[in-house]
Every structure is written in structure tokens, then in C-alpha cells.
Copies of this chain bind each other. A is one copy, B any other.
Amino acid sequence: MKQITKYIVKNSLKRIFLYRACLVRLKMMGVEKVFSYTLANETGVTSDQVRKDFSEFNIKGNKRGGYDINCLLEKMETIFHRNKDHNIVLIGMGNLGLALSKYSKFVQRNMNIVATFDIDPFKQKIRSDLPVYSMSRLKEIIDRFRVKVAILAVPEISAQQVADELIRYGIKGIVNFAPVLLKVPSDVIINNVNLCDELESVIYYVHNLIKADGLKNIELLYRDMKY
């Protein structure tokens, strides 16, 4: 039997994350029900968009009654496999790697960095809250913790080589902070986070914004930056 998987594109996924964050906040405030337009207002999209996004994920509400926040959050937990823990490895303990290894929000969302790796022997610390191993132990750790996803924070010069290694050991998804396009098999997911580009886009838009004048235009320009 062939399973039909619904393919979700990045933008609607990002919006779903947005809705979820908003729902968590509302729940903490004691709210129990939301309407599509509540979420829309909070997140800056239209209510149609909210409903369409939900429908894409097969999330149902009650006609006239809106959506029950608890149900909604539970459904999302299932969709995003939040019920189980996810083991992650982090490669590269430079400035950025170090910061990411200490980033507490990953843990809050059940994404646990089980080990970090660096080629520099001076950075390797086994007896610590979060161990920094030598690369030679990569396979062992990936196997032991059944790791499928890695964060790559190594210099661009070694990014491809490290990615190859990760994939050889069974990694299927990489958040890549090195500013290079990794060449990987088609069954491996790469999500590139390019900090320079993020900053530079803002600079570019700000420059154009200063040149522009009409509000309508600004909204147009802004469109894709929202989430």
C-alpha cells in the first residue's frame, strides 16, 4: 500500500510555526478558543490563509465555534512529532557552534543536541554538560542516539567534506550555517541559514525603502519578509 504524503512547502510550514507560537501564548493567557481571524490578526496574515493552511494539514475546527486551542496544539504536536524527542548532533564548535550548543530553546522544543564535534583538540571536552568530541567518534554517536539531523557550523572550506561524512553515517537532514551550497543525494534535506545574506537583504530593502515613497509600495516590498 502506497502512503500518500502531503507535501508542505516552506512558507506554509513557517506560517504554521507562527500560528503555533501564537497559540502557545494565547493558551498561557488563559484563552481556550480562537477564530481564524484572531490568529490572522496576531500573525499578520489573512483569515483565509489561516484556514487554507489548516486545511492543508487537515486541521478541522467547529463551524461557528472556531478552534479549540488545546485540540489545535495537540494536533500540531502530532504533525510535528513533538511527542517524541529528537536527537541532534552539532558539528563545529566555533563562535556560532558554541552559541547554538547553548541555545536553550532547542531543548524546550524537544530537540536535544546529544553531542558536539570539533577537529580542534583544544575544544574537545568530554567531561562536560554537553561533550565536545573529536570527529572520530561521529559514527559511534550517530548510531548510538539514532541521530538523523545535524547542525553544521564548520568553516565553509570543510563544510562539504563534513556533510559527506554525516550523510555516510546516515544523517538525513542538515541545518547548514556555512555559506556554501552542499551537494547531497536527493534524499537528504538541507536547510541553509546564511547570516550574511539575512543581514544584507535587510540592508538592501532599507536602502530601497528610503528611496520609495508610497505606503502601498512598501507593503508590496515587505510581503515576503514577514515570516
Taking a contact as CB atoms under 8 Å apart, the answer to whether A202 and B189 are in contact is yes
Taking a contact as CB atoms under 8 Å apart, the answer to whether A195 and B100 are in contact is yes
Which residues on B sit within 8 Å (CB–CB) of A145?
none
Q: A212–B211 Cα gap in the complex (Å)?
A: 47
| B-binding segment of A58-66, A127-135, A160-168, A214-222 | A214-222
Taking a contact as CB atoms under 8 Å apart, the answer to whether B103 and A95 are in contact is yes
Please report the total number of A residues contacting B with Cβ < 8 Å.
81
Which residues on B sit within 8 Å (CB–CB) of A190?
225-226
Q: Is A96 an interface residue (CB 8 A)?
A: yes
Q: Which residue of B lies closest to A88 (CB)?
A: B199
Q: A142–B105 Cα gap in the complex (Å)?
A: 30
Q: Which residue of B lies closest to A6 (CB)?
A: B208
Interface string of A17-29 (1 = CB under 8 A from B): 1100100000000
Docked complex: A95-132 residues within 8 A CB-CB of B: 95-96, 98-100, 102-103, 105-106, 109, 111
Residue among B44, B86, B211 making CB contact with A181, cutoff 8 Å: B44
Q: Is A140 an interface residue (CB 8 A)?
A: no
Taking a contact as CB atoms under 8 Å apart, the answer to whether A2 and B213 are in contact is yes
Interface of A is mostly: helix
Taking a contact as CB atoms under 8 Å apart, the answer to whether B21 and A179 are in contact is yes
Known: A99-B96, A187-B218. A173 touches B109 (CB 8 A): no
Q: A103–B156 Cα gap in the complex (Å)?
A: 13
Residue among B111, B174, B205, B219 making CB contact with A186, cutoff 8 Å: B219
29 chain-A/chain-B pairs, Cβ below 8 angstroms: A3-B213, A5-B212, A7-B208, A7-B220, A9-B223, A10-B201, A79-B204, A81-B203, A81-B204, A86-B203, A88-B199, A95-B102, A95-B103, A96-B99, A99-B99, A106-B196, A106-B199, A109-B200, A111-B199, A111-B203, A151-B199, A172-B206, A186-B219, A189-B202, A189-B205, A190-B225, A191-B198, A191-B199, A191-B225
Given contacts A5-B212, A99-B99, A190-B226, 10 further A-B contacts (CB under 8 A): A2-B213, A7-B220, A7-B221, A88-B199, A106-B195, A148-B206, A149-B199, A149-B203, A172-B206, A189-B202
